[in-house]
Amino acid sequence: MSLNRVVITGVGVVSPFGNGLPALMKGLEEGRSAVKRMEGWEEYNGLRSLV
What pLDDT, in 10s, does the model give residues 1-51?
Answer: 788 999 989 889 999 999 999 999 999 999 999 888 878 877 888 877 766
Extents of the domains making up the chain: 1-51
pLDDT the model gives residue 24: 94
Alpha carbon distance 37, 23 (integer Å): 21
pLDDT the model gives residue 10: 87
pLDDT the model gives residue 21: 94
**49, 41 Cβ separation under 8 angstroms:** no
pTM attached to this predicted model: 0.57
Nearest Cα residue to 11 out of 3, 21, 1 = 21
pLDDT the model gives residue 45: 82
Report which DSSP code applies to 23: H
**27, 18 Cβ separation under 8 angstroms:** yes
